Amino acid sequence: MERLLLVRYGEIGLKGRNRHVFEEKLADNMRAALADIEGAKVNREYGRIFVRLEDEGRTGEALERLQRVFGIVAVNPALRVPLDLEAIREAAAMLVRAEGDPPRTFRVSARRAYKRFPHTSQELNHLVGAYVLRHVPHLTVQLTDPDVTVTVEVREHAAYVYADQVDGPGGLPVGASSRALLLLSGGIDSPVAGWMAMKRGIELHAVHYHSPPFTSERSKQKVIDLCRVLARWSPAPVPLHVVHFTEVQKEIHRHVPQELGITVMRRFMLRIGERLARRLDAMALVTGESVGQVASQTLESMAAINAVTNMPILRPLVGFDKHEIIQRAQRIHTYDISILPYEDCCTIFVPERPATRPSLAAVEAAERAMAVEELVQQALENVETLHVEPAPAYVGA
Ligand code: ATP
Ligand code: MG
């Protein structure tokens, strides 16, 4: 009998070569997540991924890490036993006895993937259930909503028996999709957008536009801290590129009619972002924009902003209400950092009445007074790159 963690991942639609790449990536990312748990081993066997721990006392810790590995749907701490009814029965009884809160009701849910095993799933339910009833006191069978469900999976090489399940975050393993550059402000939205992009397997870099002395060191630190939280979901440190944006902001202030200031500022963010992305081999930009939230997020405004680039822009929050975004931010622990009061570059120069329907012609006319290309070049020459390591685990996260 062997203890191990049985890892489930979304298998549907993953066929042929894709599946192989997906599994390999997922196993690698799991190894990265478990790197400092000594003696933790991740193996792909029989079309499954298993984790074995030398020190069983670290199971809780390992499960906590695996809950932040995208691609994992669920993890079951399981017993692997030979294809033998007695071994399966004993494992089932052992698991029920080991439940922290002694269960009063239970059921067995058997699945026979290996059809040559002499008992059908139905028979197994009865045979294993009866054994557990006989060997664990004060227990009754209850088919709907029991305190504990013992699952038995019979496969060709062995049977797996488990009673507990920890949910993973789902999605695809980071790195299974290409790389993208997240425009990361200190706000609530963009960290959540970055998390959702990572969930689709995207490897993230982040860019932050920083405008000292109008924005303080503390506001920059806030962005680093947000990046540290995102890095907890990543198999490697997240590169954060800090672009000095003061000169651009000043030039906008000097030349652009106030009500168009934000539109022009966002256009600069995209221009610089696109160039930086190409330099980094990133295929797309990611923003925390949603439709209708603020003046710069009307479709008219997005059109005027988007006109400077052909690069795909992912806006994972587009269909979310603010309330849903906040809930997600709380769940991933970016919220408390995001609501710290430090100014961001946009709050400094925000006009009283930004245009909600800026026309592209008016915006382009305003920019004619600026040395656009020079400003972009200059900003790109002055990029500071930090490789942001994950923040330590939150208790109970
Ligand atoms: P957030 O909460 O992410 O700041 P928001 O709803 O406040 O979003 P805006 O401030 O209009 O929206 O910004 C829209 C998007 O532009 C942000 O989600 C982010 O992707 C990007 N952005 C804004 N400011 C910065 C900045 N200083 N550095 C990098 N990206 C930025
Ligand atoms: Mg903002």
Who has greater pLDDT, 356 or 2? 2
Residue 305 near ligand 1, beta carbon < 6 Å: no
Residue 172 near ligand 1, beta carbon < 6 Å: no
pLDDT category, 397, cuts 50, 70, 90? very low
As a whole number of angstroms, the distance between CA 34 and CA 346 comes to 39
Tokens describing residue 212? 């000292």
Please, is 315 exposed, middle or buried when counting C-beta atoms within 10 Å of its C-beta (0-12, 13-18, 19+)? buried
As a whole number of angstroms, the distance between CA 262 and CA 267 comes to 9
- Ligand sitting nearest the alpha carbon of 226: 1
Residues whose beta carbons lie less than 5 angstroms from ion ligand 2 = 185, 187
pLDDT category, 351, cuts 50, 70, 90? low
Counting atoms of ligand 1 from 1, which one is nearest the CA of 245? 27
All domains of the chain, ordered by start, with CATH? 2-167 (3.30.2130.30), 179-388 (3.40.50.620)
**Which residue, by CA, sits nearest to atom 18 of ligand 1?**
288
What pLDDT score does 355 carry? 80
> Could you tell me the distance, in angstroms and rounded to a whole number, from the CA of residue 361 to the centre of ligand 1?
24
What pLDDT score does 197 carry? 98
State pLDDT tens for residues 34-70.
999 999 999 998 778 999 999 999 999 999 999 999 9
pLDDT category, 339, cuts 50, 70, 90? very high
Residue 188 near ligand 1, beta carbon < 6 Å: yes
What pLDDT score does 252 carry? 96
Residue 346 near ligand 1, beta carbon < 6 Å: yes
Contact in structure between 273 and 172 (CB atoms under 8 Å): no
Tokens describing residue 369? 């007074």
Residue 208 near ligand 1, beta carbon < 6 Å: yes
Residue 296 near ligand 1, beta carbon < 6 Å: yes
pLDDT more than 90, % of the chain? 83
Residue 203 near ligand 1, beta carbon < 6 Å: no
> Could you tell me the distance, in angstroms and rounded to a whole number, from the CA of residue 371 to the centre of ligand 1?
24
Counting atoms of ligand 1 from 1, which one is nearest the CA of 345? 27
> Could you tell me the distance, in angstroms and rounded to a whole number, from the CA of residue 344 to the centre of ligand 1?
9
What pLDDT score does 46 carry? 79
Best-predicted range by mean pLDDT among 83-97, 291-305, 333-347?
83-97
What value does the mean pLDDT of the chain take?
A: 92
What pLDDT score does 184 carry? 98
Determine the distance from the C-alpha atom of residue 388 to the mean position of all C-alpha atoms in its chain, rounded to a whole number.
16
State pLDDT tens for residues 76-131.
999 999 999 999 999 999 999 998 888 999 999 999 999 999 999 999 999 999 99
- Ligand sitting nearest the alpha carbon of 266: 1
What pLDDT score does 349 carry? 63
As a whole number of angstroms, the distance between CA 51 and CA 54 comes to 10
State pLDDT tens for residues 132-144.
999 999 999 999 9
Residue 88 near ligand 1, beta carbon < 6 Å: no
| pLDDT at residue 321 tops 80 | yes
> Could you tell me the distance, in angstroms and rounded to a whole number, from the CA of residue 337 to the centre of ligand 2?
13
Residue 293 near ligand 1, beta carbon < 6 Å: yes
> Could you tell me the distance, in angstroms and rounded to a whole number, from the CA of residue 89 to the centre of ligand 2?
57
As a whole number of angstroms, the distance between CA 290 and CA 279 comes to 27
Counting atoms of ligand 1 from 1, which one is nearest the CA of 338? 2
What pLDDT score does 357 carry? 86
Strand partners, 159: 81, 154
Tokens describing residue 217? 């060191």
Q: What is the mean pLDDT of residues 153-169?
A: 96
Strand partners, 309: none
What pLDDT score does 358 carry? 86
As a whole number of angstroms, the distance between CA 100 and CA 27 comes to 30
As a whole number of angstroms, the distance between CA 370 and CA 373 comes to 9
State pLDDT tens for residues 202-241.
999 999 999 999 888 899 999 999 999 999 999 999 999 9
What pLDDT score does 10 carry? 80
Q: For residue 281, how many other CB atoms are within 10 A of its CB?
A: 11
Residue 209 near ligand 1, beta carbon < 6 Å: yes
| pLDDT at residue 293 tops 70 | no
> Could you tell me the distance, in angstroms and rounded to a whole number, from the CA of residue 392 to the centre of ligand 1?
26
Residue 345 near ligand 1, beta carbon < 6 Å: yes
Predicted structure pTM score: 0.92
Who has greater pLDDT, 12 or 355? 355
Counting atoms of ligand 1 from 1, which one is nearest the CA of 190? 3
What's the start-to-end Cα distance of the chain, in Å? 31
Who has greater pLDDT, 13 or 45? 45
Q: For residue 286, how many other CB atoms are within 10 A of its CB?
A: 29
> Could you tell me the distance, in angstroms and rounded to a whole number, from the CA of residue 379 to the centre of ligand 2?
20
